Structures are given as C-alpha cells and as structure tokens.
Amino acid sequence: MRNAGLGSWTERRLLISPDRDAIWFEGTTTSHAGFAERVRRTAAALAGLGVVRGDRVAWTGGNHPSALETLYACGQLGAIWVPVNARLAAPEAEYVLRHAGASVVVHGRDHGGLADALRDRLPTVRHWLAAEPPTEGGADSADYEQLLAAADPEPRDEPVALEDPCLIMYTSGTTGRPKGAVLTHGNMTWNAVNQLLGFDFAQDERTLALAPLFHIGGLNGTVNPSLLRGGCAVIVRRFDPVDTLRVIEEQRVNSFFAVPTMLDAMAREPDFLTRDLSALRTIGAAGAPLPLPTLHTWLERGVTMQQAYGMTEASPGATVLDSADAVRKVGSAGKPVFFTDVRVLRPDGSRADVDEVGEIVIQGPNIMAGYWDEPEQTAAVLQDGWYRSGDAGSVDAEGFLYVRDRYKDMIISGGENIYPAEVESALLELDGVQEAAVIGVPDEKWGEVGLAVLVVAPGAERDADAVRTALRERLAGFKVPRLVEFADQLPKTATGKIRKPDLRAHYLPTEETTA
C-alpha cells in the first residue's frame, strides 16, 4: 500500500480491527470493515463521475456518515475534500464552491433547495449528489446511495504523499471573505498523533461527533483520531442539549469535542444531574474561554475537562491543558501539543517575557500549507516557518499559555489595553449571566470604551449599574465596560462562536462590517 495519506487509514484499520464499531448514526452501527467498504464504493462512485487526482469534491449538510465517507474516498483518489458550512446562505456557499473550483457537491437532506438555487449559477459543478432524500427541492440531484450500491468496492490506491492537499477548509468568515486553509495529508496525520498523545484515546473509544464536521474542531478534535485508533464515531446530526445527553448515556460515549456554549446548554438541562455519564471520561473544550462555573459543573460529574487552543490553520491543535492542571491553571490553554511549538512574540519579533502579552505564533507539521489561491494572504501569516495567529497571549513562569484575545478585538481605552475575553470571563461569573460579549465603541474622551452585551437567565434582573458594580470587585476599573446592553440572544457561527462583527453592525450601524 503506497498511500501515505488519509485515504489509507480505513484500509489499514480494516486489517487491524474489522469487527469493531466505526460509525453509529441514528440507530445504525457500521463496523470498520463495513465503513471501509462504503469508503471504497464512494471512491469508485466519484471516479465514475470523472473525479481524478486534484479535483475538489465538496460536501455540505448536518453531521452525517457521508461526510467521513467522502473525505476518506477523496484520499483514496488523490482528490481534495471541501467541507462547506451548512449554515451559509446561497450567495456565501456559491462563493466558497466557486473559489474552491468544486466539480462535485454532496449535500444533506436539508440542502436540496441550495442545490436548486446554485445549479445554474455554478456550471463548473458537474454533479450534485443527495446523501439522503431531500426534505425539499433537490429533485435533480443524483441519489448518493444508488451510486454507492452500483459501485465497485475494490480497493483504490492513488499514491498520496504527506505534503499533498487533503482538504480545503474555509474559515468561518467572521471578518471579510472566508479563506480556504489547505490542510495536507501530513497535517491531518500529525494532528491526529498530537491528539492521541494529548487526550489518551482508547482502542475501543466511543467519541461523540457533536460539533459540525464542516469545522475543524468537529472533524479533527476527537473524531478522526478516534477512527485512526480503532474507535467509533457516534454521530449526531446537530446539537440539541436534551438529545445529546441521551445519546451520551445510551451509547456510552467516552469523549467529545465541544465549544463552551454547548457545554453550558447541556449543564442547564433539568436532567443533567440524573443522566448516567459514567462512561464519559474526557471533553476537549475550545473555540472560546471556558468559564469557571461551566468547568466546575462538569468536573463535579466526574468528567475531565481539557481546555485546548487551536485554529483551522493548525488542523487545529496547538496547545492542550492537561487534566491534572485543569483546576490549578483554570483559564489557561495549556502547553503545546507534542509535535508543535508555540511562542509569544513582541511586535519586533523577539520573544516576550514571562506574563508579557504578545502575538501567539505556531510551528509544526500540523500547520497548513497555505490559503487556497491566496498567495498574499498566505505570505502574511506564514513567515519563517511560523504561523502568525493574530491572537494575543502570554506565557507564565511554568510555560502555560494564556490566550488573551484577538488583536483585532483588543480595546485601547485611554492608552490601556483591554482584552474582551478577560472581561467576558468575569461577566460569566456573575449570577444570572448566561452569555456575554464585549466590543469596543468610540468615545470622545477615552478613544474607545467597552460595551458589554449580555444574555441573562429568565427572571434575572437587567440592571446595568448592578453589573458594573459587581465587576469592579473582579476587575480593574478601566476594564469595566462603560456601557451594558441586554439581548435575548447573541449572534453565533455554526460552532457557537459569537459573531462580534454582527454585534458591531447592530450597535455601531455606521461601521462597515462584512460577513
């Protein structure tokens, strides 16, 4: 077997553990042998549609086994997988598909209408496939299951090197047009190795595919590493706190990746304390700082919480907070994963001192090859072998990384630097505050001041002065937001990250923002 990349993972695992569970989805379990056969059939079906080495095959939809089948099948063909955010509006999805040059699109049951809307606008997409019968529209999409049933399940072994592109994953686009991070087969492999070393996956791991598979944390946080280890991906179509707790209990889930908003939503369910979570060992949390109350809620259920830091461009793992330090170093993103280096630099490129805030830069075999068809954007972030994250952070005397905020989100008020993430963490410790976002707004005297937008629990008092008074006991006066607003909900991306450009557009309607 010459294939050094992702496409060969299923074949090797078939030889090692054919009878173990590989996929569980809505009551159906597929073994590693069965999954490997479906991947081979998918590869044959795509080849029959004219997909060859280097072609881009897109996939969009709620979490579904076809996402993983098409990913691994592309690896066997030397093709490139392009996951598309299922929440994108038609013009946004059109941009991604056009920019990537996709020739085939596989879509979920809720995206038949999207296929109909874009079919005539994207003549370069030769084939639209429906992974399931669409709920509406999509009548002209070919039936994915029929294609697989008619396909030859013989193994394919297109030579793939570690430096060859495996997938193009578009960033969430919270600022400007989304950029397509090109992740190689080597990036995917080394990230899996880092995750296996950092999260201690078992050979019979049952991990929950909870976060969207079209985002890097959902795909590579625990799902791909568990499959490589010989475990099972328990797939839920989309996040629902009640249903997710039920699946964790019934499927004896051992691990999963989630963003803090998901963890908080589950912890607020009335039956959270009575659900049997005895099989659940580890949760990897990333995408936003993990509030202390949420951390303790899960720790009290006997679950190890491992805060992690990463991004699409790092496949995504950069650092992880070991379970032994989860409470002692709460608020930290931990230390670099095994085969990755992380530093904090001053603007002149020199290393920052202990506790000095600077830009976080990352180096390792998990760092992307660059942005698809964006050489200038690539050159701006990949310098001397290091990826410039654009995040502000510091390292303490023991080498633990603390992510302060995005540099672009930093507020400069009267010459003082204010990091919204720090203020948001303090806000989330206040009674009744469920969600918090802080942005900078212009001020004639101070240049900028903080504006906090809060979602509070039903029945909680909406008292801005009380919030500011409580914060003064936790933060320096200059960090306390001058303005406090209340909202019923905050705008979020598919992974639960708060969309601050949307908040700026709402509270600063004259400011130009882009999706």
Indicate whether 486 belongs to any domain.
Answer: yes
Determine, yes or no, domain membership for 217. no
- What distance, in Å, lies between the first and last C-alpha atoms of the chain? 44
User: In this structure, what CATH number is given to the domain that contains residue 36?
Assistant: 3.40.50.12780
Distances (CA, A) of 323 to 292, 307, 382: 15, 9, 31
| Phi, psi for 199 (deg, rounded to 5) | -115, 0
Query: Is residue 219 in a domain?
Result: no
The rounded distance, in Å, linking the Cα atoms of 484 and 511 is 19
- Domains of the chain: total: 2
Residue 254 maps to a domain:
no
Question: What pLDDT score does 176 carry?
Answer: 58
Measuring CA to CA, which residue among 107, 92, 108, 101 is closest to residue 123? 101
Query: Which residue has 């994915």 as its token pair?
Result: 144
What does DSSP say about strands 341-345 and 142-143: parallel, antiparallel, or unpaired? unpaired
Q: Which residues fall within 8 angstroms of residue 345, CB to CB, at 6 or more apart? A: 351, 352, 358, 359, 361
Task: Determine the pLDDT at residue 261.
Answer: 81
Helix (H, G, I), strand (E, B) or coil at 128: strand
Report which of 102, 176, 44 is spatially closest to residue 115, judged by C-alpha positions.
102
Contact 127, 141 (CB under 8 A): no
Cα separation of 140 and 492, whole Å? Answer: 32
Q: Is 277 contained in some domain?
A: no
- Token couple for 93: 């999805």
Q: Write down the pLDDT at residue 415.
A: 65
Q: Which CATH number do you get for residue 441?
A: 3.30.300.30
Residue with tokens 């907070």: 321
Is residue 306 in a domain? no
Could you tell me if 437 and 406 are in contact, meaning their C-beta atoms sit under 8 angstroms apart? no
Question: Can you give the pTM of this predicted structure?
Answer: 0.84
One DSSP character per residue, 371-440 reads ETT-HHHHHHHEETTEEEEEEEEEE-TTS-EEEEEEGGG-EEETTEEE-HHHHHHHHHTSTTEEEEEEEE
What pLDDT shows up at residue 370?
98
Q: Mean pLDDT per segment of 10 residues, for the chain of length 515 residues?
A: 76 88 98 97 98 98 98 97 91 94 98 96 97 96 98 91 97 69 97 91 95 94 96 97 98 94 91 96 84 86 91 95 82 93 95 96 98 96 94 95 80 77 88 93 84 95 94 86 95 81 82 36
> Is residue 214 situated within a structural domain?
no
Assigned domain for 12 exists: yes
Q: Of 102, 85, 101, 124, whose CA–CA distance to 212 is shortest?
A: 85
39: helix, strand or coil: helix
DSSP helix/strand/coil, 18: coil
Pairing of strands 382-383, 370-371: unpaired
How far lies 69's CA from each of 229, 231, 479, in Å?
17, 16, 48
- Cβ-contact 220, 316 below 8 angstroms: yes
Counted residue by residue, the chain has a size of 515
Q: Using alpha carbons only, what angle is made at residue 26 by residues 207 and 489, rounded to the nearest 5 degrees? A: 75
Q: Which of 278, 284, 232 is nearest to 252 (CA)?
A: 278
Give the pair of three-digit tokens for residue 62.
């709620």
Please name the residues in contact with 324: beta carbons below 8 A apart, sequence gap of 6 or more: none
Among candidate residues 147, 171, 186, the one where a domain is terminated:
186
Position 372 scores a pLDDT of 98
H helix runs in 255-404, sequence order: 260-267, 292-299, 375-381
Which residue type sits at 45? Answer: A
Say if strands 411-413 and 433-443 run parallel, antiparallel, or are unpaired: unpaired
How does 18-30 read in b/e, with b if 16+ C-beta sit within 10 Å?
A: eebbbbbbeeeeb
Question: In which domain, by residue range, is 179 found?
Answer: 6-186
